[in-house]
Chains A and B, each alone.
Chain A
Amino acid sequence: GAGVSQTPSNKVTEKGKYVELRCDPISGHTALYWYRQSLGQGPEFLIYFQGTGAADDSGLPNDRFFAVRPEGSVSTLKIQRTERGDSAVYLCASSPPAPLAGGTTDTQYFGPGTRLTVL
């Protein structure tokens, strides 16, 4: 079946511009996660959605970053007033619901990422 998809695959923008990154999770996956991976580092957690709501946004670095998932499926990560330090690969992951209500399974399936370059 189809995996997690992310668009665009690459995005080049100028400092100060606004960008939107899109994630299509695996069908039926209720949990969706955004991570950011800088060169030479492991992925760093940004935000977690359970359904439509952001259950944990503690990883968002500042208020320039915002994410939505209005219908509980597709999610958009929005970055305002981009800075050169925002350059990274932005990864989205999803996971299926756990057998028991309210939980998630451990396995997260990652998309190919969006490589953001801020000039």
Chain B
Amino acid sequence: RKEVEQDPGPFNVPEGATVAFNCTYSNSASQSFFWYRQDCRKEPKLLMSVYSSGNEDGRFTAQLNRASQYISLLIRDSKLSDSATYLCVVKNWAGTALIFGKGTTLSVSS
């Protein structure tokens, strides 16, 4: 079983749609969780950290369920500029490395 698993998509949605991405992780000792965004042929960039209480940043909401080892990202009112690959990321138990999922591709069309 891969350490971080996510549905690769692609998700094709119209502008204004709400879309949700899900991710599971295998190591219950993991302490830090993130969503990164990666545009085509660019480097990954931190979108947001994910906390147990859930957190929101504008149109983006991230949730963490430690019992189920499940992480989610909700994007409301999708924009064309949201088109990218969204990477679910867990910090390893030693705190020395990020473990990435394969990424979920989102395409927002007008």
A41 touches B98 (CB 8 A): no
Q: How far is the CB of A19 from chain B (nearest CB, A)?
A: 20
Chain B residues lying within 8 Å of A91, measured Cβ to Cβ, are 43-44
B100 touches A104 (CB 8 A): no
User: What mask results when residues 42 to 55 of chain B are scored 1 for a CB within 8 Å of chain A, else 0?
Assistant: 11111001000000
Residue of B44, B100, B103 ringed by the most chain A CB atoms within 10 A: B44
The total of chain A residues at the interface (CB under 8 A) is 22
Chain B residues lying within 8 Å of A111, measured Cβ to Cβ, are 43
B97 touches A48 (CB 8 A): yes
Chain A residues lying within 8 Å of B79, measured Cβ to Cβ, are none
Identify 24 residue pairs between A and B in the complex whose beta-carbon atoms are under 8 Å apart, listed by A's number: A35-B100, A40-B8, A40-B102, A42-B4, A42-B102, A42-B103, A43-B44, A43-B87, A43-B98, A43-B100, A44-B100, A45-B92, A45-B97, A48-B97, A91-B43, A104-B95, A106-B34, A106-B91, A107-B46, A108-B46, A110-B43, A110-B44, A110-B45, A113-B43
